[in-house]
Amino acid sequence: MVTAGDGWRSTLLRYNERYMRSLACVALVLLASTAFTQTVKRPNREAAKVVWEPPEWDFPENVKATVSREMLSAFRVSGYQIRLDETSMKEVQQRLGGVMARRGDAGDALEWLCFHGTDEIGRWVLWLESGEISGGSVGSFQWQRVSSYDVLDARCHNLRKADSVVQLSLSLKLGSTLAEVSNNLGPPTSKTDERLFYLHEHEVEGNRAGEPFISSNIVVVHLRHGIVWAIQASKTTSD
């Protein structure tokens, strides 16, 4: 015979079972939520990097010059004019500060100065570079955005906000649109989905034997979602 006490105990057992199942479901939801959050955040942490050395240049080989004149041979940093292939790295360091760094061996060595600042859009980093062919002068630069996850090395010199202004000698800056680049720079020498390459070359007075030197001016525009993310430029003279 089933008594009232037996019925009450049976009801209580069923209630406890439901309660335990509910707790298990809540625990599973919390675990899944935590796992999802970690999955979302992990790529950002993995994408973060310490910003110090300039990226390697990756200009396409066997490209023939198509630009009729020099595009970018001078620019200003904090009001100080730097002329590619003319202004010495030591002069820049004396004027703007920074730590001179070097990598590579003889014949393939690269010296650079690293600076960073901010504008109305966000942070950026600027590398001034001098290779063996530059003879101690600033032969090239790379100016690019810095992601919010990247960490700037302490050796990369911080330009005060009021002074962290980079002005190029043509209508181009970080944050420009693809349409603005096309209107101001014209058709590129070569391009990919994310980069536009511009190459100018002309002969200059050579050695005593009368053989001319070739002056090359390169501009590379890196795009992200149709917006300028980075700008590279160089000027070199070689025989």
The arithmetic mean of pLDDT across residues 172-191, rounded, is 96
> Which tens digit of pLDDT belongs to each residue from 140-178?
999 999 998 999 999 999 998 888 899 999 999 999 999
Domain that includes residue 66, residue range? 49-238
Residues 17 and 93 in one domain: no
Same domain, 89 and 16: no
The residue-averaged pLDDT of 189-193 equals 96
Position 26 confidence tier, pLDDT thresholds 50, 70, 90: very low
* Residues 213, 159 share a domain: yes
- 107: pLDDT strictly greater than 60: yes
Judge if 39 and 80 occupy the same domain: no
Are 94 and 174 in the same domain? yes
One domain for residues 43 and 55: no
Of 28-32, 75-79, 93-97, 117-121, least confident by mean pLDDT is 28-32
Q: 106 with 172, same domain?
A: yes
Paired with 198 in beta bridges are 219
Residues ≥6 apart with Cβ < 8 Å to 194: 222, 223, 224
Same domain for 222 and 112: yes
* Mean pLDDT rounded to a whole number for the chain: 85
